[in-house]
Chains A and B, each alone.
Chain A
């Protein structure tokens, strides 16, 4: 593949994640303004926007792109809204990346957003299940926690892990999220807190699950030429990969592996010319504790079945072998589903430009983002390097 331009992230910003009172249109704009100001650009330099969102209908606003562009004073610029369930943000980022790399645009705003907490748990549980292969899964009563719990049950059976092992992932991510002022659940928890929390879908308990969150994240994506001309901090996108999996769990060869992650990661590593050992930290899709364990194996950081042992030994904690989810991950930072994939890039930008404060991964040069939709039916992996 030949690319015309090297692609860089020139600015990044997020609203707080959590229960927000502002409208979806407003938080989309707020995050975009943070990214624009962080990049130090004039909005009129933006050539187009890529918006990721799943349930705009819940806040009576779909077709968010033109609304954002109007509020930014650039209503004449094109926009595109992308839905790929919980992976929408990274998929949108990838499409934006491809357009800059191909030379179509030299500067884009990529913004992800979700606003659902006002709808309540039953609404979100019900509508999120529409992201499954509904005829086989949602229709038979599967919730999203239920689908990941099915993976967790298979993992417990196959690899002799324990529910306490899953709990360690939650505790670790809350330790990190405690250091993130924008996290939805900025508090520490204990293994006991997790084990004693109510069962949502056995074997997963409430604290094995990420929260439903509102929030928006935005980055300014541009060509290297544009970034250099502007000055200021920027990071380079050195790898971009995408992959797919059978939509329903029943169609997968292994219940404890997400094929799309492996495919997307292989592409991204190849493009970047790096191996899993070169990655200093990773923001991975930990919608449930089991997911982080499976992700770290599928991304090649640990052998299949060894992810739990790595967590037990603290090898994924902040500033250990490989810092996994220094932001707190979906589990503690929160999971506004359309925003999450973009929010991961915001974290990588902050880490690689020295803006991550108390949760800084020391001497980090290369960061990876991994974000998927549904049970990993669609996935994107990106690799970034400090400049």
Chain B
């Protein structure tokens, strides 16, 4: 499995695969190859719950190819609980800002070809 496929497999279980630096302990998304803080290449896998709150988002009405059928939909940045890490994703069925105030509780809810990491309200 490629590094991206591994991340996708965990996303399908509602989890986030991360890389924890074995030297300094800093946590990265699992696509990192070197530590942002200390430059070390040694990582151990750490699986986090994909639960958190919406850091920011947008509701897209003019969509890239393949996404027209979903409009309006949200592209969201999810701040995960108990870590500095955030993860971006696709959220269906959001039409107005009232549907998704910043801070709304949400979680990783899968991965689909054609819309990437799926995030749903909790």
Contacts and interface: CB of A to CB of B under 8 A. Distances in A.
Contacts of B55: 154, 255
B72 to A, nearest CB: 8
B59 A150 contact: no
A126 B65 CA distance: 6
Size bracket, chain B contacts: 20 to 34
Contacts of A250: 77, 85-88
B90 interface: yes
A292 interface: no
Interface size class of A (residues with CB under 8 A): 35 or more
B97 A202 contact: yes
Interface in B2-53: 4, 29, 31
B109 interface: no
B112 to A, nearest CB: 10
A248 B65 CA distance: 20
Interface in A99-157: 121-123, 125-126, 129, 135-143, 145-147, 149-154, 157
Nearest to A246: B36
B93 interface: no
A122 B59 contact: no
A123 B75 CA distance: 19
Given A145-B62, A150-B75, A198-B61, A140 B116 contact: yes
A56 B10 CA distance: 38
Contact of B64 (A143, A149, A202, A251): A143
Interface in B70-102: 70, 73, 75, 77, 85-90, 96-97, 102
A306 B70 CA distance: 36
B64 A141 contact: yes
A135 B87 CA distance: 11
Given A146-B58, A153-B58, A200-B62, A135 B90 contact: no
Given A136-B88, A199-B61, A141 B116 contact: yes
Contacts of B56: 150-151, 153-154, 157, 249, 255
A154 B65 contact: no
B65 A122 contact: yes
Contact of A249 (B4, B64, B77, B90): B77
Given A137-B88, A146-B75, A248-B88, A201 B70 contact: no
Most chain A C-beta atoms within 10 Å of own C-beta, residue among B4, B31, B57, B70: B57
Nearest to A125: B64
A149 B58 contact: yes
Contact of B60 (A135, A143, A153, A154): A143
Interface of A: 121-123, 125-126, 129, 135-143, 145-147, 149-154, 157, 198-204, 248-251, 255
25 contacts: A121-B62, A122-B64, A123-B65, A125-B63, A129-B64, A137-B88, A140-B90, A141-B63, A141-B67, A141-B115, A143-B75, A145-B60, A145-B62, A147-B75, A149-B58, A153-B57, A154-B102, A201-B62, A202-B96, A204-B58, A248-B88, A250-B86, A251-B29, A255-B55, A255-B56
User: Which 5 A/B pairs are nearest by Cβ-Cβ distance?
Assistant: A140-B116, A149-B58, A139-B116, A202-B59, A250-B86
